[in-house]
A and B are shown apart, each in its own frame.
Chain A
Amino acid sequence: MSHVMKRGAAALAFVLILIFGSQILGAQAASAQATLKAVQDRGQLICGANGTLAGFGRPDPQGNWTGFDVDFCRGIAAAIFNDPTKVKFVPLTASDRITALQTGEIDVLSRNTTWTMSRDTTLGIDFAAVNFYDGQGFMVRKSLKVNSALELNDASVCVQQGTTTELNLADYFRANNMSLKTVTFQTADEAVKAYDTSRCDSYTTDSSGLYGERLRLTNPSDHIVLPEIISKEPLSPAVRQGDDNWEDIVRWTHYAMVNAEELGVTQKNVDDMKKSDNPDIRRLLGVEGKFGSGMGLSDDWAVRIIKAVGNYGESFERNVGQGSPLKIARGLNALWTKGGLQYGIPVR
């Protein structure tokens, strides 16, 4: 209810700014290189997050934000302030998120957002690094006795609007000569609710999201996720186009976490690891070289990140993997050395 109005207000404000706000936007364009400075002056990072998706980004009953995407923002805050709590999280719907980034309401968008060419080239935003390789899947009731998405001919599918999911869904059914009844909702909340009340036979979103949303259903155990993955969904944090330094900081926050996992550096052993003889570890942890200052940060930037949220694998397992109710397998998100796609760009 409130998000409808909020979205309307945000869209209107955006249009007004674009039309009348040469001063506002002009000033913003001039300072596009200075997101880091703005964040430092403010004393706080403003991070666009999901708000309702278990495992990725939502506040717990005490109001503390948790999740994989949330950890990522805490990592950035740690790199800048050496304090992972200096983040303000802004819950965004799929439809609000791009506008929030374009208008400068948030500094970074860390909200399971798929990197696509049109988003990258026409929306005035840039994607920093793929921190979760995902793919779209389907959830159905067990009682339907469906074992494959290919059996869903003529089914009704609930889907959230403004997502790549909406487009992949139509593509997949078309490619397999199946007919489809789509019921489109503006928020994942509404789509899941409609699925839960049997308005649709199936709910579709990124498979990571399916596991998260399943926990919110009336009887989670009555539902299964079908084996088919019908799309590539490289999820990536995004920043406004035009501030290369800020994009570097966001990108390298991710690679610091991946490199740490590759090198066996964990939240617990990070201080001991500084004494390591391995030059890769020494460079990552700022013992050798001055890599942090190249981004306007201190040279122990990576140590701060790892102390705050752990390495990539730790964050993954804690939030969405075996240490969480979601129990998502590493799959494509395993390190490249273990058959996955996560590959740390060298710190050198």
Chain B
Amino acid sequence: MGRTRLTSTVASMAEVARLHAGSGAKVRPGARRAWRLGSVVLQVALVVVVVGLLYAAGVNAARNLAAAHIASGFRFWDNVAGFDISQTLIPYSSSTSTFGDAFWVGLLNTLLVASLGIVFATVLGFAIGIARLSRNWLVSHLAGGYVELIRNVPLLLQLLFWYNAVLKALPQLRGSMTLPGGGFFNNRGLFLPKPQFAVNFRYVLVALLVCIAASILLNVWARRRLDRTGQRFQIRWIVAGLVLVVPYLVFLGVGSPLSFNFPVMGRFNVQGGVEILPELAALLLALTVYTAAFIAEVVRAGLISVQQGQIEAAQALGLFPGTTLRRIIIPQAMRVIVPPLTSQYLNLIKNSSLAVAIGYPDLVQVFTGSVLFITGQAVEIVALTMAVYLVISLFTSLLMNWYGHKVRLAER
């Protein structure tokens, strides 16, 4: 679809150019067909040239590597990695895991920080963007100050600030803060009780899924009813009951299949529990705070773009300000917000590679760091890493374009 659109755009541009050149002479249909054919030939030629260049580059690189006595290829992939990684979302051990496993560990760490960052930055960004338009002088100026301060300081400096100035200032291990509920908080991270699920917990999950499905069906029914009869049916409390109470009853019924592994203070470190590394926290904070400032501006622009008449009409209908914002302004603002918001998400994903500056084991730190230095195979590793970022970014764009398409205003 994209290609045909591009082709027709190019074609129409060419036609415009032709019209100008031909001083307004009319284009004959035959000429248009000939031009189409010419454009296809041109595109095929371009593809051939690009593929040829890539092939030549590959062959050339292989020859140069051989000439410089540097190993090439991906044979290293299945070799034992031998180094340790501080945060692993999948089982990983320095003695048995391979460089390939290290790649996946790094990739998952990147995806973790990027997806959490996107969620937090979106929430914070929307809040600040809306706050900037507040009629409350203090709120709007605080939000404005935040945006101006954050977006004008380089992200790397902010990252170093969070890591070195804020997190290093936390209490040391011996003076750890003890959190209510059995957690610890110190300059080596946040340690929380780790939930441990017994086998029976699956019944709770099944109950939860069934209830969610029931809620969705109920919602569909309520909406149909609203469309048909104009009568509103409040499902909010029923849904809350279904999703929260029913699974809880099942949970009690099957014998509370959940226990916690509490962190305990060891000789050197806190042992057990879930550990949130200060490196992750610093990176997440920096990415969230920084990207939120940009998202706030995007949101503000989107909100301003909604015509004043729409708001006045909503007020005339007697809608509450909150309802006006949710039902009238934001849906219309979204179509303006989504495209630049996508760019911000892509920036956040790519900026997560600054992890390397503070030792968070993301894809760049692990793969183009430890793996590259141990194997020395820069070409393969850098190329693969670039390809991975490309795929993540394209996938994000795809999702956001799909969403953007959904919220597009139906023109009447």
Contacts and interface: CB of A to CB of B under 8 A. Distances in A.
Q: What's the interface size class on A, roughly?
A: 35 or more
A229 B356 CA distance: 29
Contacts of A163: 373
Contacts, number: 156
Nearest to A174: B95
B86 A183 contact: yes
Interface string B136-179: 00000000000000000000110010001000100011000000
Interface in B163-199: 164, 168, 172-173, 187-188
B278 interface: yes
Contact of A198 (B64, B172, B358, B368): B172
A119 interface: yes
B5 interface: no
Interface in A1-39: 1, 4, 11-12, 14-15, 17-22, 25-26, 29
Contacts of B354: 4
B410 interface: no
A99 interface: yes
A61 B168 CA distance: 28
Interface stretch (B37-45, B249-257, B261-269, B311-319): B261-269
Contacts of A155: 268-269
B391 interface: no
A19 B187 contact: no
A184 B376 contact: no
A170 B187 contact: no
B52 interface: no
Contacts of B279: 183
Interface in A118-158: 118-119, 122-124, 144, 152-156
Nearest to B76: A122
25 contacts: A1-B157, A4-B354, A12-B382, A17-B64, A18-B379, A19-B64, A20-B60, A25-B64, A25-B67, A94-B373, A99-B378, A118-B374, A156-B188, A162-B373, A163-B373, A166-B84, A166-B370, A169-B83, A170-B82, A170-B84, A180-B84, A186-B357, A194-B359, A199-B278, A242-B69
Interface of B: 57-58, 60-61, 63-65, 67-71, 82-86, 94-95, 156-157, 160, 164, 168, 172-173, 187-188, 266-269, 271, 278-279, 354, 356-359, 361, 365, 368-370, 372-376, 378-379, 382-383
Q: List the 7 shortest-distance A-B pairs measured between CB atoms, nearest first.
A: A162-B373, A170-B94, A122-B71, A182-B84, A124-B69, A124-B70, A155-B268
Interface of A: 1, 4, 11-12, 14-15, 17-22, 25-26, 29, 94-95, 98-99, 102, 118-119, 122-124, 144, 152-156, 161-163, 166-167, 169-171, 174, 180-186, 190-191, 193-194, 197-199, 201, 240-242
Given A95-B372, A154-B269, 15 more contacts: A1-B156, A11-B382, A18-B61, A21-B64, A102-B68, A122-B375, A152-B268, A154-B267, A154-B268, A161-B370, A174-B94, A180-B84, A186-B357, A186-B365, A199-B278
